[in-house]
Amino acid sequence: MAETEESTGPPATLIDPIEMSKLDTKFREEIHSMPNGEELSACFACSTCTAACPIANIWKYKPHQLIRMILLGMRDEVLSSDEIWLCLTCFQCQERCPQKVRVTDIFFDCKNLAAEEGKVPPNIVGLGKELLEKGQLYTVTADWEREDMGLEPDVPGLSVDGLRNILKETRTSKLVDGDK
């Protein structure tokens, strides 16, 4: 029998061990109580969601891992991850989940929690600013094109105040103010 070489460093592991003391055991309850989060704990980690995701190959944390991380309480890692913002919101993961976990909806919940802590990609804050200031994401600039098509140059019935007044009182205004 060949003798094994004496190991000097820490034991080799495939992945970094999880720091148990840093886990937030309340995180799963937090998500559970958010819109469409009820089915979260039904996940049995089959990773069908990851197989369904068209861009999971470029993600460090795959969709099934993110769900597992939520269940374990890895709050900081999930809410600071790029992945939740890269989600296409195509709902392929959610559609195929055999346990009816609303995976895409849960990522929306995660983005809202990240936003509450001000962790939002700058371009998305920019869209929030656009909504708060102009009341819409696209504004008619080429009104001659509308007239060419026999349409009113201004969109009939359009009013941006309703949306702006609502968003002034909700998180969007906090995010946009915080960015200044």
Partner 1 sequence: MVISKMPVYNLYMGCSVPANYPNYEAATFKIAKAYDMQLEYMEGVGCCGSPNLRAIDYMGWLTVNARTLAIAEKNGHDIVTPCNGCFASLKDAYHFLKHDADYRKKVNAILKKESLEFKGTITPRHFVEALYTDIGIEEIKKKVTKPLDGVGIAIHYGCHLLRPVDVTEFRPEYLDELVQATGASVVEYPLWKQCCGATVLPVDENVAIRLARDKIKSMKESGAEFITVVCPACGNQLDLQQLGLKESYGEEYNLPVLLYPQILGLALGMDEEEVGLSMNRVPADPILDHLTG
Q: Which residues bind partner 1 (CB under 8 A)?
A: 35-36, 54-55, 58, 85-92, 94-95, 102, 104-105, 108-109, 111-112, 115, 120-121, 123-128, 131, 135-141, 145-146, 148-151, 155-160, 162-163, 166-167, 169-172, 175
Nearer to partner 1 among residue 42 and residue 124 (C-beta): 124
Nearer to partner 1 among residue 8 and residue 144 (C-beta): 144
Find tokens 């009939």 and name the residue.
Answer: 156
What is the C-alpha to C-alpha distance for residues 127 and 21, in angstroms, rounded to an integer? 37
Enter the tokens of residue 57.
């190959």
Nearer to partner 1 among residue 22 and residue 165 (C-beta): 165
Question: Residue 176 Cβ, how far from partner 1 at the closest point, in Å?
Answer: 10
Question: Residue 65 Cβ, how far from partner 1 at the closest point, in Å?
Answer: 19
Nearer to partner 1 among residue 74 and residue 167 (C-beta): 167
Asked whether 166 and 172 are in contact (CB, 8 A), the reply is no
Q: Is the dihedral of CA 130, 132, 138, 141 positive or negative?
A: negative
Question: Residue 84 Cβ, how far from partner 1 at the closest point, in Å?
Answer: 8
Question: Residue 104 Cβ, how far from partner 1 at the closest point, in Å?
Answer: 7
Kindly write down the DSSP assignment for every residue of 48-68, as one continuous string: HHHHH-TTGGG-SS-HHHHHH
Report which residue type is found at 74: M
Enter the tokens of residue 31.
């998500």
